[in-house]
Amino acid sequence: MLVDMADDIDGDGTDDANVIGAADQSNGQPTPTFGSDLGTFMGIAGSYTAVRVSGNFVIMAVIPANYLSSSGTVDSAYSNLHSLEVIGMYIGGPTDSTHPVDFANIVVPTGTVFTASGYLTGNDGDAEFLSVTNG
């Protein structure tokens, strides 16, 4: 997976692995948007509400763990990423099923076979499994 490594999303002047789709604070880079080829990220379209960093959602926990330079050295796996596990992410948004909510932008080199899978849960009901593959 391709990750945008040219953004300073935590405002410390050092590049981060922008896996939350946050706005760049120092380098003048465009903010990733859903459907763009700027890189892989998880988040929610900006019209929904929740805890935010630079107008975008915070991923609570991911593996590889460190994507922010302000937390220490950015995990080197992000420069050649083969998997990204989102352990927990708060998603705010509509309380009905009539408003689709983008939550993942996954960019891979042309011809790459991939699978994206996981569980989504809400305030009510059971966790729902989803899986998407291109190959």
Give a three-class secondary structure readout of 1-48: CCCCCCECCCCCCCCECCCCCCCCCCCCCCCCCCCCCCCCEECCCCCC
- Range 40-46 average pLDDT: 73
Residue tagged 């998603």 (tokens): 91
The answer on pLDDT for 76 being more than 90 is yes
Amino acid at 118: G
Range of the domain at 76: 1-108
Confidence of residue 10 (pLDDT cuts 50, 70, 90): confident
The answer on pLDDT for 3 being more than 90 is yes
pLDDT at 60: 59
pLDDT at 96: 62
Residue 78 phi, psi dihedral angles, 5° rounding:
-70, -20
Does 135 map to a domain? Answer: no
Confidence of residue 8 (pLDDT cuts 50, 70, 90): very high
Q: How far is CA 94 from CA 41, 48, 90, 115, 117, in A?
A: 21, 8, 13, 27, 22
Q: How far is CA 122 from CA 14, 27, 114, in A?
A: 35, 36, 26
Does 115 map to a domain? Answer: no
Does 117 map to a domain? Answer: no
Does 76 map to a domain? Answer: yes
Between 99 and 56, where is the model more confident? 99
Does 118 map to a domain? Answer: no
Does 18 map to a domain? Answer: yes
The answer on pLDDT for 125 being more than 60 is yes
CA angle 97, 90, 33 (to 5 degrees): 75
pLDDT at 93: 55
pLDDT at 78: 94
| Structural domains of the chain, count | 1
Token pair listed for 87: 């352990």
Does 30 map to a domain? Answer: yes
Reported pTM = 0.77
